[in-house]
Amino acid sequence: MLEHDDIQGLVFSGYARQRFARYWFVKLPATGAAAWLSRMLVRVTSGGPSEHGAERRCNLAFSVTGLEALGLPEAALRTFPAAFLRGMAAPERSRLFGDHGDSAPERWDFGGTEAGRVDALVLAYAPTADALDEESDLIEDGFERFGCEAHVEDAYLAEDFRDHLGFVDARSNPRLQSLWPPRKKNRYDLAVPAGEFVLGYRNADGHVTPRPRAPWRASTRSLPHRVDARRALDLGRNGTFVAVRKLAQDVAGFWRFAERHASSLWPAARTDDAQRLAEHLVGRRQDGAPLVPPPAGARVAAAGDFPALNRFGYRDSDGAASLCPFGAHVRRANPRDSLGDSAAPSLKAVRKHRLIRRGRLYGPLFERAAPDAAERGLLFMALCADLERQFEFVHAAWLDNPKFGGLTHERDPLIGVPARDETERTETFSLAASPFRRQVTLERFVRVRGGAYLFMPGLRALAYLAEG
Ligand code: HEM
């Protein structure tokens, strides 16, 4: 069974009741980092039942430089996976994500250079702006006392949970299943073995994902489980990896693009053609409903019924992609049953590449009726047990793959990675528009402004790290 009390709460919940959030990307001091963490421990909230009623939530994660600052020895650091050790701004990762030009790490607000180094990420969530300020005072007091420097980002969920483009977000997140295979099986269920997200449990392959170890210390008060005969401790158990990306969106540009192209796509013009095109680019309706019908015999989804809105596949209902384009953001990000020759192996393979998304908006909410030029976007956050197999795979092999699903020269229409050089053809987006399939030339609406890979330890592991 999952040890909820030892797992940070963000793994289980997007904190929908705590709409206001503040993120600190922290540079820890050369000395005293462990003492700072020790003081922070009481603030960290878990996913245990005792925390369910908590008004405020706080979670913590560390990069490799942060773990170093906390005194974790080199041999222990080497037990972490390569992607985490290299970091999101490493040159090979920039090539993988297309982070160049105005998205290059040198231009990021955090995480891209030594000046913007991220050792730790402190996340605070509260139901009101005042409650968030109170929590922030306590957290910032600790920064001051221990000499931490921080880059701050305010993030929030809109009241109706829509993103800047007007789409209801975070409809589709996997459901953690500690017993695998689940007793009640639904082919299109979002259940995924817990080990895909929390270290120390079985993953979709039936294995326990390798996890970092730390040396045994005589002083250790809170022992994570021992994993081997050398008395190394299981530092990874109940932890998860976090990928953060600050994605600035040109929302006004997105709607100008949709309005310009929509008028030429469908013969019978409708007033909502721009919205119709936007929904095809995303692959869902703005209210979160899928573009494809639910499988035959499935319970009809009630409005707001998240799991029901997610029990669908593409193979039987839309194999030719006439309802939801092959290149639509959600069809790329989670191809469900549509990979390869049959549904079952596809669903099984896709289960190994799922993400828990905990992104929030930054910048003022965009009003389509009154567009402005303010900076806004998504503080994207994904949690997973294996950064390479999950986050990097979804980004590079599905979203940013020009040959995805039999397409050529197409890339994800939302994250919009720019061409790497002039020899690359302009990207298009194909959609089934009556009477013929049509293509629109994509533009770019997103610029990367920050990023980091972090490890969010379990609570006992945090206590261990605080011993320095
Ligand atoms: C500014 C950039 C982005 C925007 C505006 C955006 C927007 C959306 C929207 C509107 C949805 C549908 C609602 C939902 O299921 O939550 C969605 C789903 C999703 N997105 Fe994004 N997204 C962005 C970036 C990313 C990135 C960088 C990734 C991963 C690397 C990603 C992965 C996913 C996944 C996995 C889903 C769920 C698909 C499903 O299960 O059907 N998104 N996104």
Question: Tell me, what's the pLDDT at 217?
Answer: 84
446-456 and 240-249 as β-strands: parallel, antiparallel, unpaired? antiparallel
Question: Tell me, what's the pLDDT at 420?
Answer: 61
Whether 88 and 381 have beta carbons less than 8 Å apart is answered as: no
Lowest mean pLDDT among 147-161, 194-208, 262-276, 410-424: 410-424
Lowest mean pLDDT among 237-246, 328-337, 420-429: 420-429
pLDDT of 293 strictly over 80 = yes
Mean pLDDT of 315-343: 94
pLDDT band at 305 (very low <50, low <70, confident <90, very high): low
Helix (H) or strand (E) holding 450: strand 446-456
- Mean pLDDT score across all residues of the chain: 91
Name every residue whose Cβ is closer than 8 Å to that of residue 7 and which is 6 or more positions away in sequence.
46, 47, 198, 238, 240, 458, 459
Which is the closest atom of ligand 1 to the Cα of 190?
A: 40
The structure tokens 């192209």 sit at 261
Mean pLDDT of 47-72: 95
In DSSP notation, 18-85 reads: --EEEEEEEEPPSS-HHHHHHHHGGG--BSSGGGTT-S-EEEEEE-HHHHHHTT--HHHHTTS-HHHH
Give, using CA atoms, the residue closest to atom 28 of ligand 1.
395
pLDDT band at 468 (very low <50, low <70, confident <90, very high): confident
pLDDT band at 50 (very low <50, low <70, confident <90, very high): confident
Distance CA 427, CA 416 (A): 9
Residue 153 CA, ligand 1 centroid: distance in Å: 21
Name every residue whose Cβ is closer than 8 Å to that of residue 320 and which is 6 or more positions away in sequence.
432
Mean pLDDT of 335-356: 94
pLDDT band at 215 (very low <50, low <70, confident <90, very high): very high
Which is the closest atom of ligand 1 to the Cα of 169?
A: 16
Which is the closest atom of ligand 1 to the Cα of 283?
A: 12
pLDDT of 83 strictly over 60 = yes
Name every residue whose Cβ is closer than 8 Å to that of residue 183 and which is 6 or more positions away in sequence.
none
pLDDT band at 223 (very low <50, low <70, confident <90, very high): confident
Question: Tell me, what's the pLDDT at 466?
Answer: 96
Q: Mind listing the pLDDT tens digit for each residue in 258-269?
A: 999 988 887 778
Q: Mind listing the pLDDT tens digit for each residue in 136-148?
A: 999 999 999 999 9
Residue 399 CA, ligand 1 centroid: distance in Å: 10
Question: Tell me, what's the pLDDT at 275?
Answer: 95
pLDDT band at 302 (very low <50, low <70, confident <90, very high): low
pLDDT of 431 strictly over 90 = no
Beta bridge partners of 127: none
Lining ligand 1 with CB less than 6 A are 163, 165, 167, 169-172, 247, 249, 282, 284, 329-330, 333-334, 355, 357, 378, 380, 391, 394-395, 399, 414-415, 446
Whether 194 and 176 have beta carbons less than 8 Å apart is answered as: yes
Helix (H, G, I), strand (E, B) or coil at 366: coil
Q: 180 vs 282, which has greater pLDDT?
A: 282
Which is the closest atom of ligand 1 to the Cα of 173?
A: 40
Distance CA 456, CA 59 (A): 8
Residue 95 CA, ligand 1 centroid: distance in Å: 21
pLDDT of 187 strictly over 90 = no
Output DSSP code: residue 151.
E
Mean pLDDT of 379-404: 96
Mean pLDDT of 152-176: 91
Residue 372 CA, ligand 1 centroid: distance in Å: 24
pLDDT band at 424 (very low <50, low <70, confident <90, very high): low
- CB neighbourhood size of 90 (10 A): 15
pLDDT of 239 strictly over 70 = yes
Output DSSP code: residue 465.
H
Helix (H, G, I), strand (E, B) or coil at 280: helix
The structure tokens 């977000």 sit at 169
Q: Give the mutation target among 190, 355, 380, 393 for probing the ligand 1 site: most ligand atoms within 8 A of CB.
A: 380
pLDDT of 399 strictly over 60 = yes
Question: In this structure, is the dihedral angle defined by the CA atoms of residues 269, 271, 274 and 277, taken in order, positive or negative?
Answer: negative
pLDDT of 227 strictly over 80 = no
Mean pLDDT of 130-141: 98
Task: Record the tokens describing residue 277, joined without a space.
Answer: 């095109």
Task: Record the tokens describing residue 413, joined without a space.
Answer: 């229409």
Nearest to 111, CA basis, from 416, 400, 448, 385: 448
Question: Tell me, what's the pLDDT at 421?
Answer: 61
Q: Mind listing the pLDDT tens digit for each residue in 14-41?
A: 999 999 999 999 999 999 999 999 999 9
Question: In this structure, is the dihedral angle defined by the CA atoms of residues 65, 68, 73 and 77, taken in order, positive or negative?
Answer: negative
Residue 149 CA, ligand 1 centroid: distance in Å: 31
Question: Tell me, what's the pLDDT at 434?
Answer: 65
